[in-house]
Amino acid sequence: MIDARKLSVARGGADDDVALLPAREFHFTADDFERVRKLIYQHAGISLAPVKKDMVYSRLARRLRANNYTTFAQYLTHLERNDEAEWETFINSLTTNLTSFFREAHHFEILTKHLQKIGTTHGKPIRIWCSAASTGEEPYTLAMTACEAFDTLTPPVSIVASDIDTNVLATASKGVYSAERVEKLATERLRRFFFKGKGSHAGFVRVRPELQKLLTFTRVNLLDAHWPNVPGPIDIMFCRNVMIYFDKPTQYQILKKFSPLLREDGLLFAGHSESFMHAVDLFRPLGRTVYERADRKH
């Protein structure tokens, strides 16, 4: 989600855990940090800024303890020997997932109109790809929007929800959230799309199984040459708050793979701070971080 991502430093915000750092347990040199930056860029496309050094130490120090290493050099050498499981944990450790239901709400108003427009002209199901699924709030929002657009819990929609972080995908697939995560949702949406926990599950809600049936969760690294888990053609792509963590050349290469996968009349949704003006040969803006293929004929 990367896939983000949603890549959360992939889709990151404030490094809350840095403020509580104790005196450093491990020596962490500038060379160690540069090795980390190189490795995460090579394997996930993430460009770590120099200001992320403390965050990197905080996250990876846990991996040194778990593997009984005394230096970062030992851990990184182990990583470079291609321990597949540790690579996955390394990437998971350096991704921050910030998300919420109906984030950037104007996108879902546009999505509703587009779904209703193509619902009678396209073959079924309408295919949606959420490429930075994080802990699931965004893809479940897509499912809720589809249900509302077609006024049914079984809309003609199929959603692939992917991320590079396997930990957040495991959370997303369960569809269980604390009450605080849904407190801003309208009462009608809560009633229609969630079950309220009781007894030992009080204080939690669970997404209705009808919504879960619309989603397929899968791991996708946006840097991979091919995405076999994402069947095309795709009608709608959500890749929000992910591209800002890639440099421009990496962004362009990902967008170059997006273009042929997206239907000619499909839509690509980006995050509020993202712009693809460096890829005008691939995508052109429709306004408010929504894009269409540059070769679309009107």
163 is catalytic: yes
What whole-number distance in Å separates Cα of residue 140 and Cα of residue 162?
Answer: 12
Strand partners, 163: 219
DSSP per-residue letters across 70-126:
SSHHHHHHHHHT--HHHHHHHHHHT------TTSSTHHHHHHHHHHHHHTTTSPSSE
Best CA proximity match to 171, nearest among 159, 156, 160, 161: 161
Which among 32, 163, 165, 235 is annotated as catalytic? 163
Which among 5, 11, 59, 127 is annotated as catalytic? 59
- Produce one character per residue of 80-100: b if its CB has 16 or more CB atoms within 10 Å, e if not: eeeeeebebbbbbbbbbbbbe
Strand partners, 149: none
- What ranges in 119-186 are assigned the alpha helix state H? 137-150, 166-174
Let me know: does 157 contact 215? Beta carbons within 8 Å. no
Positions marked active-site: 59, 163
